[in-house]
Amino acid sequence: MGLIDEAAKRLWEAASRSEAIPPIRDLLGTASDIDAAYAVQQINTDRWVAAGRRVSGRKIGVTSKAIQQQVGVDQPDFGTLFADTEYGDGIEIEAGRLIQPRAEAEVALVLDQDLDSAPHGFAQLIRAVAFALPAIEVVDSRIADWDISIVDTVADNASCGMYVVGSRPVPLSAFNALTVPMRMTLDDREVSSGVGAACLGNPLHAARWLADTMCQRGAPLRAGDVIMTGALGPMVPLAPGQDLRAEFGELGSVTTRIS
């Protein structure tokens, strides 16, 4: 078994058991081999699809300077979203599905058109978006104590966990993605804040980066896909029974809790 296959096997088993494992970056031979990490991610994505899970979109990770500083990563990455990890506003997330959850608030976009002609123009990206939703991503890591490098998080599907989207779709013309404010509270106590510009300068720019990147990797974004564009502020640890709420001004709000 090759090292990429072994890394994929370890992460697959960790996810199946809901247990954290030591970092896998040294197993891949270098702490900066992102292509090898994406190969690991793809192996397990294919396994999940073969097992019956349905891809619902993609997430962009480590887009804000605050998150990059928190986890020691200096560039964005992407992971695959699955339909069974998508929750609606106000729905509780089962604690047993998570290992060491943390929450971050972000803008979700839902596509109305395929994005398969990279490089994409900014206006082209805007035209392809059906609507936006306020969202919370409950990120998780199969790597113990969040001891991750860019290789660890990419291989681990960009630390995907669950995601929660609001119930009121908002057209891009109804709010400003660049300046949209974000305030996240945990049990009514503010724990994170930010604005749209914290996400690679603009959540729409982050989505454009993803659209181009997915074309380069042979898996273009398709109509109906959800794009989780990335955190607008620091992520926070979560514990069962805590009420989590994110407010985004004119974009609306979204709530959840770990059961």
Task: Report if pTM > 0.75.
Answer: yes
User: Poorest-confidence range of 4-8, 55-59, 69-73, 144-148?
Assistant: 69-73
pLDDT (0 to 100) of residue 13: 97
Cβ atoms of residues 17 and 9 within 8 Å: no
Q: What is the pLDDT of residue 1?
A: 61
**pLDDT at residue 30 above 70?**
no
pLDDT at position 75 is 77
CA angle (48 as vertex; 43, 53 as ends), nearest 5? 150
236-237 vs 102-111, strand pairing mode = antiparallel
The answer, yes or no, to whether residue 82 has pLDDT greater than 90, is: yes
Domains in the chain and their CATH numbers? 3-258 (3.90.850.10)
- Rounded CA-CA distance 141/161 in Å is 8
| Confidence at residue 94, expressed as pLDDT on a 0 to 100 scale | 95
Q: Please state which of the ranges 25-29, 96-100, 171-175, 206-210 shows the lowest mean pLDDT.
A: 25-29
Strand 102-111 to 129-139 pairing = antiparallel
* Confidence band for 33, pLDDT divided at 50, 70 and 90: confident
Query: What average pLDDT score do residues 177-201 get?
Result: 97
Residue 238: what pLDDT?
A: 95
State the CB neighbour count (10 A cutoff) for residue 187.
12
Structure confidence at residue 62 (pLDDT): 83
The amino acid occupying position 26 is D
Residue 95 has pLDDT above 80, yes or no: yes
Instruction: Quote the CA–CA distance of 18 and 15 in Å, as a whole number.
Output: 5
Share of the chain above pLDDT 70, in %: 95
Q: Is the pLDDT of residue 71 over 90?
A: no
Give residue 92's pLDDT: 97
Residue 72 confidence (pLDDT): 66
In DSSP terms, which residues pair with 110 in a beta bridge? Answer: 131, 226
Give the mean model confidence (pLDDT) for residues 103-132. 97
